[in-house]
């Protein structure tokens, strides 16, 4: 195998220093039957090899229908790659997904990261097969990724290595998001603040049938998000607005790094505010969510997702009337609440009758309205 993209057993002895993910990407570029055949040949010679067993599961998950077989496949891998102190079951799948995800994020060894990420993705598939109450299937199709839940399916465009890594371990990244989505109905309206390339906007509309408005100010991501909406023919349900959610409605500047689809870590600044050192800036519209609702630009949201990489305080400041309205059921907020000033944002949502719980890792909080607050 060495530096090649196959699992030829003649070269297996020289491969001990290779990063499994690099090898996996080589396999992903091969026709699926050829890649599977190479792995089977290698496993026939070294059946207990930990990397090969993780690779076999990873490859299988690129074209997979979730179900009992998923749990059996994970437990076969765990027999060779000891990552848990218990087997995977239908009952503990979500917890295993979150646990393996957290362990992987702490890993500095790329081999161990690959093992944990593969386990988390597989456990996530098993968990959401249960949560969505029907068939759940995934499939890589060249530059597209297909996700099916029951009789509904969505496809996503995969452009470049950043998005490629995201889709290779799809259920690693936001397992709590999928758990939240499972409770959505066609009567819901999701406001996706920080929509990026529209993955969650498309998934909510395409798999749950709800209306979605995505706010995304970065032009390259706006174009990618709209392409994903069009690819799924969801224009009647999903609107992507090139707007940055802000404390007040006014034009400003967006600082950013590279301009490739899927890139995050942009920040919205007032026109007279200095940009961070080394950052480029472009002019974008900023809008308070309350103003968008009051003007009828967007329908009233029953669910809100906020992922803005540090600008949470401004976003929440601009949605006070929306938070006070009992029609808003829940808010998923990515926030490093332990950093200076961030706890005030959490406390602000609490004052409106919302109670947070950790969704999948400490920075991802799901705020649900307390029953007494909803009744008022």
pLDDT digits (tens, 9 = 90+) for 298-309: 999 999 999 998
Q: Is the pLDDT of residue 5 over 80?
A: no
Better-scored residue on pLDDT, 267 or 147: 147
Average pLDDT of the segment spanning 329-335: 97
Q: Average pLDDT, stretch 10-21? A: 47
pTM of the model: 0.88
On whether the CB atoms of residues 198 and 225 are closer than 8 A, the answer is yes
Q: How many CB atoms lie within 10 A of CB 195?
A: 30
pLDDT for residue 291: 98
Res. 130: pLDDT tops 90: no
Residue partners of 351: CB distance under 8 A and separation at least 6: none
The answer, yes or no, to whether residue 9 has pLDDT greater than 80, is no
Q: Is the pLDDT of residue 3 over 60?
A: no
Least reliable range by pLDDT among 147-151, 157-161, 226-230, 296-300: 157-161
Q: Residue 18: pLDDT band by 50, 70, 90 thresholds? A: low
Return mean pLDDT, the chain.
88
**96-to-3, 91, 119, 135, 209 alpha-carbon distances in Å:** 33, 10, 8, 20, 28
User: Which of 18-27, 91-100, 148-157, 183-192 is predicted least confidently?
Assistant: 18-27
User: 3-state DSSP call for residue 64?
Assistant: strand
Which residue ranges form the domains of the chain, and what is each CATH number? 9-133 (no CATH), 174-375 (3.40.50.150)
SS3 212: strand
Instruction: List the single range of 26-40, 93-107, 237-251, 261-275 with lowest mean pLDDT.
Output: 261-275
């Amino acid at each position: 195998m060495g530096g090649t993209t196959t699992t030829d057993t003649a070269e297996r002895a020289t491969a001990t220093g290779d990063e499994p993910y690099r090898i996996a990407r080589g396999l992903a570029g091969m026709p699926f039957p050829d890649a599977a055949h190479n792995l089977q040949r290698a496993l026939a010679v070294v059946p207990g090899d930990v990397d090969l067993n993780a690779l076999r599961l990873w490859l299988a998950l690129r074209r997979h229908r979730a179900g009992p077989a998923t749990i059996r496949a994970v437990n076969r891998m765990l027999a060779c790659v000891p990552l848990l102190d218990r087997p995977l079951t239908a009952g503990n799948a979500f917890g295993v997904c979150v646990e393996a995800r957290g362990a992987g994020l702490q890993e500095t060894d790329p081999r161990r990261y690959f093992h944990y990420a593969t386990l988390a993705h597989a456990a996530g598939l098993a968990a959401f097969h249960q949560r969505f109450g029907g068939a759940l299937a995934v499939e890589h199709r060249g530059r597209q990724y297909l996700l099916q839940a029951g009789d509904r399916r969505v496809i996503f465009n995969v452009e470049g290595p950043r998005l490629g890594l995201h889709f290779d371990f799809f259920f690693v990244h936001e397992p709590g998001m999928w758990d939240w989505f499972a409770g959505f109905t066609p009567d819901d309206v999701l406001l996706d603040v920080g929509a990026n390339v529209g993955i969650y906007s498309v998934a909510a509309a395409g798999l749950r049938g709800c209306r979605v408005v995505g706010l995304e100010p970065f032009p390259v991501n706006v174009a990618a998000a709209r392409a994903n909406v069009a690819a799924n023919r969801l224009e009647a349900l999903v609107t992507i607005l090139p707007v940055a959610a802000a404390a007040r409605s006014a034009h400003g500047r967006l600082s950013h790094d590279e301009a490739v689809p899927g890139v995050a870590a942009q920040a919205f600044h007032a026109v007279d505010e200095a940009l961070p050192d080394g950052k480029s800036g472009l002019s974008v519209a900023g809008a308070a969510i309350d103003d968008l609702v009051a003007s009828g630009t967007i329908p009233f949201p029953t669910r809100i997702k906020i992922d803005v990489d540090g600008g949470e305080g401004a976003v929440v400041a601009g949605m006070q009337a929306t938070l006070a309205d009992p029609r808003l059921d829940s808010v998923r907020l990515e926030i490093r609440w332990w950093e200076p000033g961030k706890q005030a944002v959490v406390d602000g949502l609490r004052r409106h009758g919302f109670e947070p719980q950790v969704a999948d890792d400490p920075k991802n909080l799901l705020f649900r309205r307390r029953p007494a607050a909803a009744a008022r």
